[in-house]
Structure 1
Amino acid sequence: MSRTGTQYSADFERALAVGRPPNVVRLFPNSKALIVSGKVIDRALAAKGHAMAIAANGRNYFVVRGALRAAQRANAAIIIEIAKSEGGANAYCAVNYWNLARLVDALCNEMGITVPVAVHADHYGIKSEADLEAARVEIPSMFDAGITSIAIDASHLPDDQNLLANLALNPYVPKWAGLETEVGEIKGKEGLSTVEEALFLIQGLNAHDIHPDWIALNNGTTHGIEASDEGIQVDLTAEIHAALEPYRVSGAQHGTSGNSSARLREIAARTRTTKANVATALQMISWGVEVNDYGNAILDDQGRFRKVEGEGVTEALWAEMVAYAEARGWKKGDYKRLNLPFENKLLGQPAEVRERMARRVEEFVHRLIVDVFNGADTAPLAIQAILDAGSYDLGPKGRRIEDPAEWTEDRIRQRAAAIQSDKGPAGDFDD
């Protein structure tokens, strides 16, 4: 697929003229890539109804390439993202917060991608005061590099500190940008989010005239390789989304790897979720590892990942990757750390191998978009949202309905002290 001969519709050209945020225009003044705010993607999926956009974690070049091709085939609005653990200052991937937009823009222009794409900084984690101080410098630098949407994730902290961190960092996020917040650290069936906690966070933000596009919950999933089929608690998610309905916030579903297609269809059909993150499965698929319907890697009789011969990386390179991991005593969940040391070796493979890596991602993502997430044909809805607004800035979905006087710092701490919740076990649950 290449840009040669690409036909750009009149609506696309109009959206391109007004729909790209100012940081994107400044970075890529001559681009034909329709990189947009995350708000645009959310509105498109909400307009279709009972539909989720895939938020593909671009842990390597081939995941980004394949996901964009799948979105183009499905005529679907898409989010390409990277999380702080994957692509922050101490990352385990070569793709990062500061080069992701450049990669997306280059690939869109090369392949003639005409669907709207948001570039999302996922799980921008805040765990301490030191993290807050660093964020005041780092978040603007990420938007300077073309990020168009961000998840402020202070869910590791107590409820009052989570809200206060979101308030403290909001001035550093452009008003036009997509915004995600999170309650309940993603850690499986432990420490599940509650209606009370979610309302506390969203109401406190609302009082300060902050209207997130998405809220992520701990609704039963985990990051990385999921060994059980506990998965998403759909009833809990639906209950929380119903309680938040007056605030017009959509859901972001994290940890989709490890959940069956049936459960993912149910989360789309029964909740207000418009964004679904897929990370570990895409990494494994690009390498040529066999996965099941849950996106979980399939193991052989020796408990090792089962590599499909003639798919993904070459057999020789896969053997080198496995040896590298085993020499360091890495468990299966640690294989994600192969991304950084092996990115250049992946890029240095023969053209036909690079192509099959991207194609394998494309096929998997296309199936998710069309058959599972109900996300096909949402690109025109995203373009229409831009044209209706006449701008890259779609504004907030909600309005302020909470009294700011009831949400001062002192009142926030008092309210949080009365919340009954179980945060689950301590530990490092970053992906």
Structure 2
Amino acid sequence: MPLVNTREMFKRAYEEGYAIGAFNVNNMEIVQGITEACKELNAPVILQVSAGARKYANHTYLTKLVEAAEIETGLPIALHLDHGSSFELCKDCIDGGFTSVMIDGSHLPYEENVELAKKVADYAHPRNVTVEAELGRLAGIEDAVNVSAADASYTDPAQVQDFVERTGVDSLAIAIGTSHGAYKFKPGQKPQLRFDILKEVSDRLPGFPIVLHGASSVIPEYVEMINQFGGEMPDAIGIPEDMLREAAKMAVCKINVDSDLRLAMTAAVRKYLAENPSHFDPRQYLSPARDAIKSLVMHKIETVLGCGGKA
């Protein structure tokens, strides 16, 4: 099966009340861990690449790793650009084999966001590539995304229908209380998603797939492991997984996971090297890192996404 776009994935996910995991990839072990988990649970998957990942690992290396994963697993896999910052970047990814792109104009005035998203969709659709855009701004820091709490804003449900109709995009990322990175909330602050906004958006856009960014849960097990083996992350707080599962039962068809992958991988590497300080073969410490990625993704599929058996 060749790489696919997200159109049919999202249609089925919306109808059956689950979400597809969109996992950020940077190297071979991350790709392997994610797709091994998805193969074992027969789950569709979106492997997404940020501009930072393309700069780090190279566009060609990443696309070929994802193509290899498709050959090895036979799963429906979409290759997605995460937080595309310009038409030129989206075009480069479309021309280079990506099957889905996100154009993030959420920092722009509304009309400029509409114009940019439409330009990308007009280029992508004749090439069978799906497009995600964003309304509202999530706080937090992750790769090229850096939005202060003061600049963050919830999505205005009154704008969504106009935006989707005028741009022709295929999915929409909205801001309902998630945020990028592992430090999402101040100590003592209770995480809360605005399900009222999500419901109003879904009422205004019946059947239309919604996306949640910044949806890592910052699993305490990995934070504790990092702290135990030389880290310092006492105040990392994520999105409760029961809230994410509830969102997946509604209009949310794509849930992004990046920070949790980083935490799982880093925790496994730190633990291995602390327990085996004389080892220096990367295969020795990257193997448990890959296993940690696989375990995390299986957990997300079973606990949050509900997409096991849906490939």
* TM-score above 0.5: yes
Q: What is the alpha-carbon distance in structure 2 between the residues aligned to residue 169 and residue 46 of structure 1?
A: 24
CA 1:172/1:98 → structure 2, altered by over 3 Å: closer, same or farther? Answer: farther
CA 1:72/1:178 → structure 2, altered by over 3 Å: closer, same or farther? Answer: same
Tell me which residue corresponds to 2:12: 44
Question: What is the CA-CA distance between 1:236 and the residue it aligns to?
Answer: 1.4
Tell me which residue corresponds to 2:243: 263
Q: State the 4+ residue runs in structure 1 displaced beyond 6 angstroms.
A: none
Question: What is the CA-CA distance between 1:349 and the residue it aligns to?
Answer: 3.6
Tell me which residue corresponds to 1:147: 98
Which of 278, 297, 320 is matched with 2:257 structurally? 278
- Checking the alignment, whether the CA contact within 8 Å between 2:172 and 2:210 is kept in structure 1 is yes
Residues 120-167 of structure 1, C-alpha deviations (whole Å, 9 max, x = no match): 0111124xxxxx5xx1xx433322322110111111101111001112
Q: What is the alpha-carbon distance in structure 2 between the residues aligned to residue 201 and residue 367 of structure 1?
A: 35
- Is residue 78 of structure 1 aligned with residue 45 of structure 2? yes
Residues 29-80 of structure 1, C-alpha deviations (whole Å, 9 max, x = no match): xxxxxx2112232233234x11011000113332211111111011000000
- Checking the alignment, whether the CA contact within 8 Å between 1:78 and 1:118 is kept in structure 2 is yes
Tell me which residue corresponds to 1:244: 205
**Count of aligned pairs between the two proteins:** 273
Q: What is the alpha-carbon distance in structure 1 between the residues aligned to residue 243 and residue 270 of structure 2?
A: 26
Structure 2 residue runs without a partner (length 5+): 141-148, 217-237
- Checking the alignment, whether the CA contact within 8 Å between 2:202 and 2:251 is kept in structure 1 is yes
- Checking the alignment, whether the CA contact within 8 Å between 2:103 and 2:134 is kept in structure 1 is yes
Residues 272-327 of structure 1, C-alpha deviations (whole Å, 9 max, x = no match): 111110001101211226xxxxxxxxxxxxxxxxx8623xxx33999xxxxxxxxx
Tell me which residue corresponds to 1:173: 124
- Is residue 199 of structure 1 aligned with residue 161 of structure 2? yes
Q: What is the alpha-carbon distance in structure 2 between the residues aligned to residue 231 and residue 55 of structure 1?
A: 21
- Checking the alignment, whether the CA contact within 8 Å between 2:138 and 2:175 is kept in structure 1 is yes
- Is residue 355 of structure 1 aligned with residue 287 of structure 2? yes
Q: What is the SS of the residue equivalent to 1:173?
A: helix
- Checking the alignment, whether the CA contact within 8 Å between 1:44 and 1:77 is kept in structure 2 is no
CA RMSD across the alignment:
2.4
Tell me which residue corresponds to 1:223: 180
Which of 143, 148, 163 is matched with 2:114 structurally? 163
Tell me which residue corresponds to 2:85: 125
Structure 1 residue runs without a partner (length 5+): 1-15, 21-34, 127-131, 290-306, 319-347, 380-431
Residues 328-365 of structure 1, C-alpha deviations (whole Å, 9 max, x = no match): xxxxxxxxxxxxxxxxxxxx844332221111010111
What amino acid does structure 1 have at the position aligned with 2:246? E
Q: What is the SS of the residue equivalent to 1:163?
A: helix
What amino acid does structure 2 have at the position aligned with 1:367? H
- Checking the alignment, whether the CA contact within 8 Å between 2:25 and 2:53 is kept in structure 1 is no
Q: What is the SS of the residue equivalent to 1:220?
A: coil
Q: What is the SS of the residue equivalent to 1:288?
A: helix
Q: What is the alpha-carbon distance in structure 1 between the residues aligned to residue 193 and residue 59 of structure 2?
A: 28
Question: What is the CA-CA distance between 1:98 and the residue it aligns to?
Answer: 4.3
What amino acid does structure 2 have at the position aligned with 1:124? G
CA 1:274/1:362 → structure 2, altered by over 3 Å: closer, same or farther? Answer: same
TM-score, normalised relative to structure 2: 0.80
- Checking the alignment, whether the CA contact within 8 Å between 2:27 and 2:62 is kept in structure 1 is no
Q: What is the alpha-carbon distance in structure 2 between the residues aligned to residue 108 and residue 354 of structure 1?
A: 21
Residues 190-245 of structure 1, C-alpha deviations (whole Å, 9 max, x = no match): 4111111222311322xxxx2x3210011111111134242432221122121111
- Checking the alignment, whether the CA contact within 8 Å between 2:11 and 2:209 is kept in structure 1 is no
Q: What is the alpha-carbon distance in structure 1 between the residues aligned to residue 251 and residue 214 of structure 2?
A: 17
Tell me which residue corresponds to 1:377: 309
Question: What is the CA-CA distance between 1:169 and the residue it aligns to?
Answer: 2.7
- Checking the alignment, whether the CA contact within 8 Å between 1:60 and 1:283 is kept in structure 2 is no
TM-score, normalised relative to structure 1: 0.59
Matches within 5 A, 1:414-425: none
Bigger strand share = 2
Q: What is the SS of the residue equivalent to 1:286?
A: helix
Identity value in percent: 23
Which of 57, 61, 86 is matched with 1:99 structurally? 61
Instruction: Pick which of 219-228 and 66-75 moved more.
Output: 219-228
